Chains A and B, each alone.
Chain A
């Protein structure tokens, strides 16, 4: 492991973000094109290397506890990295790197790219912090860093739709983070600690039916769950997402659909065990099912390429929350399927947004009615979109099938076969929706004005093709994925082990 790796995973993107305006000034002064772009890519590669260096230690069964100023928790602030955190950190760093490479070409026509990369790196900083921290107030701080940078990124182009979407997300997202802050304040007033492990240890007496749960704890849990569900965009808290993902520059949509999805689901996976440890399985299963159905039915009738993908984000996150919820009801397969689906979905949804971005970049349109027959002009984009479409629809042998199949089995294992039936039906509707998208954009007759459209630039194609290859490889060798999500699921459930490592046992 690289010395100081846990804090470096946060510091590298944070300081790179602060350095970016200076790089922007220098690149203008010395006329170096794309200096900001490649500096952002280098920062992400550095972050990925730092995070990857921690993985062998964590997968070896240890929990890395990094104490600030050598103050022992719960008195001092700490970072705690277990198998669940490392899965998320690897996904954020890996996908974040590919999104930055894509942005090099996609954002080429935009001015103030230094500002764009500053905000993007701040989003990465916030994401890293929320999943690595062992302190619940620091979690809130990093959540705000991530959220505020996201609001600005959505409105980055300052067009009317972007500003409207950014403001909507600002109002609804701020309500969510306020709920989280209020929940933390209630927890602190009740328990007198902000350390997640310490909170878990002190609230352990309320697990089971031994002690009645105080009203303040019920209120705190409800506020925390609502705040997280707003960030995850579960129905009925989903309303900010379609506008935001449609109006944002596509590189931002890919960043928010892939890496940023990780943060919310990380806390959904953590929540049933730490810091509250109270039963939330019914809420997770209900919201998961509702989001799957509403998301896919809304997606079916969309006329806008990116808006359709945005509704599928809601639907697919529903699968993840459902799987994790089934895990709390006793299904190990459900929990593993939920975390596996997060891994798979982050890959192919980023890729699908990148394909939509490539079409928008070349044609200037994201309306189905204005597109068609682009498979002849953009064969590689069409191929990657086809792979992503089949993966998200759960068609074998791609990665989406493996995680969805595991969730289907999770439903049966939890004694809820109706859940499995609904999940299969939603997959069929997902396929129908992507069939429409593929035929509208890449098949059929090509309008005359699209006759001379060229394939996407190589720098945009590279991350798309890399993700397509990963979709196929994980589909063919699912053990690669299970080797990551298996320890993650075990770590999420092992609250006693987490508490033991951080503060030395209950």
Chain B
């Protein structure tokens, strides 16, 4: 038997205290090394090319490209299978139904 060990108040207090300590460290760091910000420093670096804010938006489909590489078979076969074609989707339902029939026949008999 697994025991449920979870005290939300203690954990929340710990999270808040941790956040406070992190904030204090950050503030101390800012005091020691004062940042000297200039507009040039805040610009997105693009090899000297001027970019509008709209153009700096990352491609949301490629945002996690390493994850896409890890799950390559999924993104190569399963994602393209979501064609939007209704007849294909109805076929999925029929195939799913057949699998459910097989599993039930194997488990109840």
Residues of A within 8 A of B (CB): 167-168, 171-172, 175-176, 179, 212-213, 218-219, 221-223, 225-226, 229-230, 236-237, 239-240, 242-243, 278-280, 282-283, 286, 294, 297-298, 300-303, 333, 368-369, 372-373, 396-397, 402, 405-406, 409, 412-413, 429, 432, 436, 440, 444-448, 475-478
Contact = CB atoms under 8 A, between A and B. Distances in A.
B50 interface: no
Interface of B: 1-2, 4, 6, 8-9, 11-12, 15, 44, 52-54, 56-61, 63-64, 67-68, 71, 74-75, 78-79, 82, 84, 86, 89-90, 92-93, 95-97, 100-101, 103-105, 107-109
B104 A283 contact: yes
Given A280-B104, A283-B100, A432-B64, 9 more contacts: A172-B93, A221-B104, A229-B100, A240-B89, A298-B78, A303-B61, A372-B53, A440-B63, A478-B8
Contacts of A297: 71, 74-75, 78-79
Contact of B96 (A226, A298, A406): A226
Given A283-B100, A478-B6, A298 B79 contact: yes
Contact of B97 (A222, A301, A475): A222
Contact of A218 (B44, B90, B92, B101): B101
B79 to A, nearest CB: 7
Contacts of A372: 53-54, 57
A485 to B, nearest CB: 13
B53 A373 contact: yes
11 contacts: A171-B90, A172-B90, A218-B108, A219-B101, A236-B96, A294-B74, A297-B78, A333-B4, A369-B60, A436-B60, A448-B54
B93 A294 contact: no
A448 B51 CA distance: 13
Given A171-B90, A239-B92, A397 B15 contact: yes
B12 A397 contact: yes
A31 B53 CA distance: 45
A283 B103 contact: yes
Contacts of A278: 104, 108
A17 to B, nearest CB: 30
Best-buried of A167, A300, A475 by chain B (most CB within 10 Å) = A300
Interface of chain A, main secondary structure: helix
Contacts of A212: 109
A397 B53 contact: no
A386 to B, nearest CB: 14
A298 B81 CA distance: 11
A225 B100 contact: yes
A218 B105 contact: yes
B68 A413 contact: no
B4 to A, nearest CB: 6
A205 B103 CA distance: 21
A396 B15 contact: yes
Contacts of A213: 108-109
Contact of A282 (B12, B57, B78, B107): B107
A303 B53 contact: no
A436 B63 contact: yes
Contacts of B58: 440
Contact of A445 (B6, B56, B64, B96): B56
Contacts of A222: 97, 100-101, 104
B100 A226 contact: yes
A437 to B, nearest CB: 8
